[in-house]
Amino acid sequence: MDTAPYVARGPRAAECVADGLWLLRGRPRDTLNVYVMGDVLLDAGTRHSTRRILRSVTDLPLASHVLTHGHMDHMGASHAICEQLGLPLLCGEGDVAAVQSGGREGLAQRPAAMRLAHRLVAGPGHPVAATLVDGEQIGGFTVLQTPGHSPGHLAFWRERDGILIAGDVLFNLDPVTVRAGLRLPPLTLTRDPALNLASARRLAALGPQVVCFGHGPPLRDPDRFQRFVAGASVDAS
C-alpha cells in the first residue's frame, strides 16, 4: 500500500500523486477514487460521495467534470456536482447514454444484485456537454480511448513524467477485501473483457512510471505493472 501522506494543497483532504494531480481522500481510503487533474474533476464516486467531493473542491478553479466511464460508482455525484459548481460534464462517446440515464438504461434486464446496488448508490443522470476522443488534451493529460470495461471508457496519459490514469481498465484493489493488488476488473461488470485486456496492453506499452486507478492506491512500480499485464488473460480474471 502506498504511504504518501495526504496533504492539504490543491483540493482539501487529498494526496498529491504528481505535479497537478491529486487523489481525494475517501473512506475506505483509495476505494472509490476521485481525482483533480489540473482544472478537471475526474470521476465522482457514488451519490453518497457528493458532500466529501464538494468539501474538497469547492474553492478550486475547475473548468470541467470528466468521467473515465459511465458506471454508477464513478458518476454517482456527477449531477449534483455539475449543478452546484456549474461544470460541463464530459465522457467518451460510447458511454453517453449510460451517463445521461444515470445507468438506468437496460437496468431492468440486469441481475437482481446489480439492480439493488444501483438503488443503493447510483445518482441521477446528467446531460453530457461534449465527448472526448483519442489524442485530445484535457487537464494537462492526453485522452486515450480504452474500451472494454465500458464501451466509452477513457484513460489519461502524461508522457513527460509517465503518469497514467487507467480508470477501471485494471483494478489495484480486491473489491471484496478492499486490499491493494493488481487485477483485471470483475467480468460481471465488464462489457467486453477481451477488448478491455487489449486496452490494458495498450496502456502497458506506454511504459508508465505511476499508474492511478478507479479502485486502489496509485502504483509506483512500473515493472510490476508490466509483468501483470504481460501475464494477464481473460480466463484468469
Q: How far is the CB of 135 from Zn ion (least distance, A)?
A: 24
Q: How far is the CB of 39 from Zn ion (least distance, A)?
A: 23
Please state, in angstroms and rounded to a whole number, the distance separating the CA atoms of residues 176 and 61.
Answer: 36
Instruction: Please identify which residue in the block is written with the cell numbers 447514454.
Output: 97
Of residues 20 and 74, the one with the C-beta less far from Zn ion: 74
Q: Which helix (H) or strand (E) holds 182?
A: strand 180-183
Which amino acid is it at 11? P
- What is the four-CA torsion angle of 36, 135, 130, 54, rounded to 10 degrees? 0
Of residues 185 and 208, the one with the C-beta less far from Zn ion: 185
Q: How far is the CB of 228 from Zn ion (least distance, A)?
A: 18
Please state, in angstroms and rounded to a whole number, the distance separating the CA atoms of residues 170 and 227.
Answer: 13
Nearest Cα to 142, choosing from 128, 127, 162? Answer: 162
Q: Which helix (H) or strand (E) holds 158?
A: strand 154-158
Contact 57, 64 (CB under 8 A): no
Of residues 20 and 53, the one with the C-beta less far from Zn ion: 53
All three cell numbers of 99, joined, read: 451517463
Q: How far is the CB of 203 from Zn ion (least distance, A)?
A: 16
* Contact positions vs Zn ion (CB under 5 A): 73, 168, 214
Of residues 95 and 168, the one with the C-beta less far from Zn ion: 168
Please state, in angstroms and rounded to a whole number, the distance separating the CA atoms of residues 102 and 159.
Answer: 33
Strand order across the 40-42 sheet? 14-18, 21-24, 35-37, 40-42, 64-66, 89-92, 130-132
Of residues 20 and 123, the one with the C-beta less far from Zn ion: 123
Q: How far is the CB of 72 from Zn ion (least distance, A)?
A: 9
Of residues 73 and 95, the one with the C-beta less far from Zn ion: 73
Q: How far is the CB of 213 from Zn ion (least distance, A)?
A: 9
Q: How far is the CB of 7 from Zn ion (least distance, A)?
A: 25
Of residues 44 and 57, the one with the C-beta less far from Zn ion: 44
Whether the link from the prior residue into 28 is cis, omega within 30° of 0, is yes
